Structure 1
Amino acid sequence: MRIDAHHHLWDLNAVHYPWLMESGTPRFFGDPTPIQRDYLLPQFRKDAEAYDFKASVHIQVGAADPWAEAKWVQSVADQHPDWPLAQVAYCDLTSDDLPDQLDRLQSLPSLRGVRQIIGRSPGEDAKSGTNDLLENPKFLAGLRELGERGLSFDLQLLPELMEQTARILERAPRTKIALCHAGSPHDRSEDGLDAWAIALENLSSMPQVFCKLSGLGMFDHDWSADNVRPIVETCLSQFDPERCMFGSNFPVDSLSSTYAELISRYTALVPDTQWEDIFYRTSAGFYGFVAE
């Protein structure tokens, strides 16, 4: 059994995604036009089951109404009991009514954690101001609240923010953290990857932080096993396989590869002895799947 620890689904008739349906707006991950269509569990399963994936984690993906998205994901899980589906929902950790929001989310059996994006890309962050979350004391309080409730936090940010973020996470040691997309190494030059690796040490040194090998095609649509090898090897070295997990980031990463190509590249990158950890054991433990 394998688990895909990071993917998205959407039914465009059920939930509205403003970012997805924008026309003519370039995004850091590419042109979203090819994925402006329904992407439902049966389609995802068709790709994933061909490679022995039998469970997965749905990650929130910018719905106009996050609660509507979370309820819809729960309905998908309920309709497909033969496919264990956990979810990480959106919640604003700085909200004054955070306890009430978390109470509502925790009424959903599929809920495992929360994601609130801190950093997407330098250009988009400069316009959105999401980096400012790190300056808000309510954000730290929210992280602590997650840990007290046994919920995890999916952390999406840029390398430039890792040192500052680590200082905050040190003050919320009970909260498990899943670092999305290997920390988004957006500068793929030699100097850029060196700077990313140094920044990553701020997070990898913390035992509560785990790393997702996901989203490697967002900043390079021509990626191959060879040109991301330094990224994967650095993650495996700093976190060890016991704290690394695979995520396809589909359908967003379908803009740069098929599911088959994705698995083929990771086959070339991950030693056979580490596959069980990266493709099953780490994510099963982190997201609370029942072992088979």
Structure 2
Amino acid sequence: MSITSPHLSVREDWLSLKTEEVLDPGQPIVDAHHHLWDRPGACYLFPEYLADVRSGHKVVASIFAQCRSMYRDSGPDEMRPIGEVEFINGVAAQSASGIYGQFRACTAIVGFAELTLGAKVAPVLQALVRAGGDRLRGIRNTTAWHQDPAIRSNPQPPPPGLLSSDKFRQGVRCLARENLSLDVWAYHTQLNEVLELTQQNPDLSIILDHVGGPLGLGPYAGQRDAVFLDWKASVAKLAALPNVTVKLGGLGMKTTGFVFHEQPKPPGSRELAEAWKPYIETCIELFGPDRCMFESNFPVDKGMCSYLILWNAFKRIVERYSQPEKQALFSGTAMRVYRLSPNIVADHAAMP
């Protein structure tokens, strides 16, 4: 059965119509969230990602987020996602060879485990840890759901109420025992469920993906101001819990309602910064720079802008911040939350 992708098509010829000089090229960046996959009509593997990384910004390392890539084609269903971690660990080893330059891809891995297994997920988590060597840091499930069929950001949408299900929450409680964090991708309409889940797991590191998913499609089209107020109120409640951090990005997805991809030419960083600033600044104000981290969400967000333009937009949004605050936003928070080597930036700078 073929599954239609909900993501915008990547048009390299269209993206090439907009170029800019790299802003603040010496700022070290840890890309806190990207994917690698080989899907019908959409191949984005290490060579494609590396080409984007080499577009000019000082990206020193990256964190891979699960996307159902390279699952095993046999064995128990719950063990098949181990193939993705094995694959990405191989990409990380390839990058760590130094043959491809100073950048270190997939330094940390967020994999998939079927958390609705409840307590029975424990052996799956242990197998994933082994498959990732010392790189597996967390788990993410497909949880973003809305009843309106126009709102979809995953080729295989989850069932409704997953974040609130007893089995899912039993599985979540197993993560801390394996020293793993939980990444959560949810729309702003689900943030009360995320809040309850977080309150029940105060000792678990929980990372809110894509600024908490403000919606702009379906019943939310043309309702940006009202959605913003609802989203902000929910995000503020999450920010009050110290075990939550937030990824700043994902605003290039169709679900946000932005339509830069419909323009004759791709947006520049000033356009993106103006559109995205309210969400990103709000998150930084509520969580503080030490609990926020920038992400590319590539190749998903590549349907709206290039890698160079995206990071220029982020840099414009935070240009008034101090250098220590920028250091946290662009690399420090991701390094701490995903337990990367503190020497990764220094090692990068020392390489010829």
TM-score above 0.5 = yes
Cα offset for 1:160?
A: 1.4
Cα offset for 1:272?
A: 4.1
Q: Is the 8 A contact 2:144 2:157 kept in 1?
A: no
Q: Which residue of 1 aligns with 2:198?
A: 169
Structure 1 CA distance, aligned partners of 2:202 and 2:242?
9
What pairs up with 1:1-292 in 2 under 5 angstroms?
Answer: 1-10=28-37, 12=38, 17=39, 21=40, 36-49=41-54, 50-63=56-69, 65=71, 66-81=81-96, 82=98, 83-85=104-106, 86-95=108-117, 97-107=120-130, 108-109=132-133, 110-120=135-145, 122-124=147-149, 128-187=157-216, 189-218=224-253, 219=256, 220-222=258-260, 224-270=272-318, 271-273=320-322, 274-292=325-343
Cα offset for 1:242?
A: 0.5
Q: Is the 8 A contact 1:121 1:186 kept in 2?
A: no
Q: Is the 8 A contact 2:30 2:334 kept in 1?
A: yes
Partner letter of residue 204 of structure 1? A
Runs of 5+ consecutive residues of structure 2 not aligned to the other structure: 1-27, 72-80, 99-103, 217-222, 261-270, 344-352
Partner letter of residue 98 of structure 1? V
Partner letter of residue 286 of structure 1? V
2:215 counterpart SS class: coil
Structure 2 CA distance, aligned partners of 1:135 and 1:244?
25
Partner letter of residue 125 of structure 2? L
Partner letter of residue 67 of structure 2? V
Cα offset for 1:212?
A: 0.3
Cα shift readout 1:240-286 (whole Å, capped 9, x = no counterpart): 11000011001111100001110111111013422101111000001
Structure 1 CA distance, aligned partners of 2:146 and 2:306?
23
Q: Is the 8 A contact 1:117 1:130 kept in 2?
A: no
Cα offset for 1:43?
A: 2.8
Change (3 A) 1:174 1:118: same
Q: Which residue of 1 aligns with 2:264?
A: none
Q: Report the structure number with the largest CA radius of gyration.
A: 2
Q: Is the 8 A contact 2:142 2:158 kept in 1?
A: no
Change (3 A) 1:252 1:128: closer
Provide the TM-score with structure 1 as the length reference.
Answer: 0.86
Q: Which residue of 2 aligns with 1:28?
A: none
Q: Is the 8 A contact 1:144 1:174 kept in 2?
A: no
Change (3 A) 1:64 1:121: farther
Q: Aligned-residue CA RMSD in angstroms?
A: 2.0
Cα offset for 1:148?
A: 2.1
Structure 2 CA distance, aligned partners of 1:40 and 1:225?
28
Cα shift readout 1:87-140 (whole Å, capped 9, x = no counterpart): 101111111530110010000122110001211555357994533212321222
Partner letter of residue 236 of structure 2? E
Q: Percent identity?
A: 29
Structure 1 CA distance, aligned partners of 2:287 and 2:64?
23
Structure 2 CA distance, aligned partners of 1:150 and 1:43?
31
Structure 2 CA distance, aligned partners of 1:43 and 1:64?
17
Change (3 A) 1:132 1:231: same
Q: Which residue of 2 aligns with 1:32?
A: none
Cα offset for 1:48?
A: 2.1
Cα offset for 1:158?
A: 1.1
Change (3 A) 1:39 1:212: same
Partner letter of residue 234 of structure 2? A
Structure 1 CA distance, aligned partners of 2:93 and 2:121?
26
Partner letter of residue 302 of structure 2? S
Partner letter of residue 293 of structure 2? M
